[in-house]
Amino acid sequence: MDYYIVIPSHNEEKYIAQTLQSIVEQTVLPKKLVVVNDNSTDHTEAIVASFIQNHPWISLVNKSSEAIHLPGSKVIQAFQKGLATLDDHYEVMVKVDADLIFPPTYFETILSHFQSDDQIGMAGGFAYIEKNGEWILENLTDKDHIRGAFKAYRKEAFQQIGGLKPAMGWDTVDELLCKFYNWKVITDTSLKVKHLKPTGASYNKTARYKQGEAFYTLGYGFFITAIASLKLALRKGKPLLFIDYINGFWKAKSDKKPLLVTAEQAKFIRSYRLKKMKEKLM
C-alpha cells in the first residue's frame, strides 16, 4: 500500500532530524513526505533541506502563521497546507508530529493492519516519553485511542470523515466520526513511538480553556464533559484543571460556538461515550 506523510513543524530544530531519520530508515518507505515549516525562526528549514538532498520523495513547504501555539487549529492548518501540495494517489494518509522516533518496522506494521481488514479506517501505536532514563507510556488517553502525534487513515475513511478539523478536539472527533461511519479504529501495543517533547509543552496558557471548548464542540453535553474533564485533569496530575475545562465548556456554550459535528453525529457521540462509560463501570 502506498502511504503519504504530512509533518507540521514549528521551531523543531532540536527534534526533526531524529524524526526524519527514523522515517528514512523504515522497512517500508512512504511514497511522499511533506514537511510544513510553519513560521519557524530556527534551523528547521535547513535541516529538512538536508534530508531532501538524499531523499527526493521528501518535500518542504513554508507557511506563515502566528507564533502562538494554540492546540488543534495551528497544527491542522499546517497539515492542510501540506496536504494541498499532494496528489490523491495514496492508499493511506499519515499525520505525524516533528518530535517523534519511530521503530524501523512501524509503518510496515501499520500497513499490514490495513491490508488485513478493509474495514479498518485508522491505525496507530502508542507514545512513550523518557522519564528518569526510561521510556514509559505517555498515559494521557485510553488504550483504544490513537494519539494525534501519529494518525494513519485509510484513504476512503479519511475522505468520508471530511479530513481533519482545524480545532482542538480534531484527534477525537476523527475517531468518533470513523465509528459513526462504521470504520474500525485499531491500536497496536507493540508499536512504541518515542515522543521527544511532552504533549502540550509549548501551549499558550490560555489553551487550558480550549479543552472545555473542545468537549462542547464535540457535542458531549455537560454530563459527559464533566466526567471527561475530571478524568483528564487527574491523568495530568492537575485536579484544578477540571475548573478550567468546565469554564471553557460554559464559555463555548454561551458564545454559541459551532459544533464540529452534525446533530445526528453529536447524538451518536453522546450515546457512544455513555456506552463506554457504562462498560468501564461494569
pLDDT tens for each residue of the chain, 282 residues long: 999 999 999 999 999 999 999 999 999 999 999 999 999 999 999 999 999 999 999 999 999 866 555 566 789 999 999 999 999 999 999 999 999 999 999 999 999 999 999 999 999 999 999 999 999 998 777 788 999 999 999 999 999 999 999 998 899 999 999 999 999 999 999 999 999 987 655 545 566 788 899 999 999 999 999 999 998 889 888 899 999 999 999 999 999 999 999 999 999 999 999 998 888 777
Task: Establish how many alpha carbons lie within 13 A of residue 229's alpha carbon, considering only the half-sphere containing its beta carbon.
Answer: 27
Q: Which of 75, 96, 74, 76 is nearest to 150 (CA)?
A: 96
**pLDDT at site 236:** 83
pTM above 0.85, yes or no: yes
**pLDDT at site 23:** 98
**pLDDT at site 199:** 64
Here the cell at position 47 is 535541516
Q: How far apart are CA 54 and CA 60, in angstroms?
A: 14
For residue 198, with 0-12 CB atoms within 10 Å meaning exposed, 13-18 middle and 19 or more buried, which class applies?
Answer: middle
Which H/E stretch holds residue 24? Answer: helix 16-24
Q: How far apart are CA 57 and CA 36, in angstroms?
A: 14
Is the domain defined by 3-195 classed in CATH 3.30.1330.20? Answer: no
* Inter-residue contact 157 to 134 (CB < 8 Å): no
State the angle between helix axes of 170-180 and 263-281 in degrees (0 to 180), rounded to the nearest 10: 90
